[in-house]
Structure 1
């Protein structure tokens, strides 16, 4: 089994990158042949700007650009997609949002037919979200921030494409044993990554 782990943080010394490394380690330990490809959007120089070429691809007037086709191929090769990111303004960083804007295109992630009927094309994809916040649990709960993030990201993005969000984790400074506990959590998520997807499928089928 193979996972694509996408991380969006400019500092390789950040907790986001440490969580990513421990997650990949957990995946490697989860079983023979299991592997993870880490896509560091900053290091790879991904351009998040949505251009007129992206609009043309959305309207099906032109094919997607080579860089977007390459990103889609990476996801197509994966059994699971994992996003690791810091919470910026109660959402994901612009770099990661731009990656989704450009990569999850009409015709690949979903299909808008002439009768306005939506075809969700990523029903096979299992998604795991690991967000790293700077506020405490009470702040998120009091203002409903985490619920708003789940509506926006879990449902609004991946639900629209038919992908199943298997894990939606929020790691905060107020959590026990911060930050070492988060690294153990990431490793545990990695070890259970593929089993978690199977368990969810079984529960949905029951």
Structure 2
């Protein structure tokens, strides 16, 4: 089985990258494979342009950079997004990747006459958000619930993809990094079960 791990952080030495690497190490230790899409290092353009709007309207085919990302997902059995929380959501770089890559005609089919067809029902998704604040802050203001509504339901359920893990790693600026790194490696080892199905973990 093969996992695509998508990372959005400008620093290669960040905890975000460290967590992505540990997830990959766990995947390999369980006998599977992975690749990393480092959006910042690869220079992915997250801007939703007039051309992307034409793709959405089914007037144009997706550009090469979008087709490359779609092919990465197509050859993967599960998708793992690893990102720091910026303003109670994912970074603009990762949101722009979703805006452009999860296009009409590939992630879903929508038309005024035909309605909505969800085209990613086969895809398993794991969301790993790294948060600086503590869990009490997220609970008190309802931030984590809002994030799940926006991302888990608003993005992935719309396309039919199943969010298996929606994990919030809190206190990233005050806890020892190894706590989160160890949790990441454990997640990677459990990402695929003996039957090749993505496994569920409990969100923080």
- Interval of TM-score (by shorter of Structure 1 and Structure 2): over 0.9
Offset at residue 114 of structure 1 (A): 3.6
- Answering whether residue 110 of structure 2 is matched by residue 112 of structure 1, we say yes
Give the 3 Å change call, closer, same or farther, for CA 143–116 of structure 1 in structure 2.
Answer: farther
Say if 2:165 is the partner of 1:167: yes
Q: Point out where structure 2 has 5 or more consecutive residues left out of the alignment.
A: none
> What is the total number of aligned residue pairs between the two structures?
199
In structure 2, what is the equivalent of residue 73 of structure 1? 71
Query: Which of 150, 154, 157 is equivalent to 2:155?
Result: 157
- 2:132 matched residue in structure 1: 134
Does the 8 Å contact 1:5/1:37 carry over to 2?
yes
Alignment-derived partner of residue 181 in structure 2: 183
TM-score (norm 2): 0.93
2-side partners of 1:120 and 1:59: how far apart?
Answer: 16
The within-5 A match list for 1:1-206 is 1-31=1-31, 34-173=32-171, 178-195=176-193, 198=197
The C-alpha deviation readout for 1:46-102, integer Å capped at 9, x for no partner, is 000010100000000010001101100000000000000000000000000000000
CA distance in 2, matches of 1:117, 1:88: 33
Q: Which runs of 4 or more aligned residues in structure 1 lie more than 3 Å from their structure 2 counterparts after TM superposition?
A: 174-178
The Cα offsets for residues 183-202 of structure 1, whole Å up to 9 and x where unpaired, read as 1110011000012973769x
**Scaled by the length of structure 1, what TM-score is found?**
0.92
Cα distance between partner residues in 2 of 1:198 and 1:21: 21
**What is the root-mean-square deviation of aligned Cα atoms in Å?**
1.9
Distance across 2 between alignment mates of 1:176 and 1:92: 20
Q: CA deviation at 1:116?
A: 4.8
> Which segments of 5 or more consecutive residues in structure 1 lack a partner in the other structure?
202-206
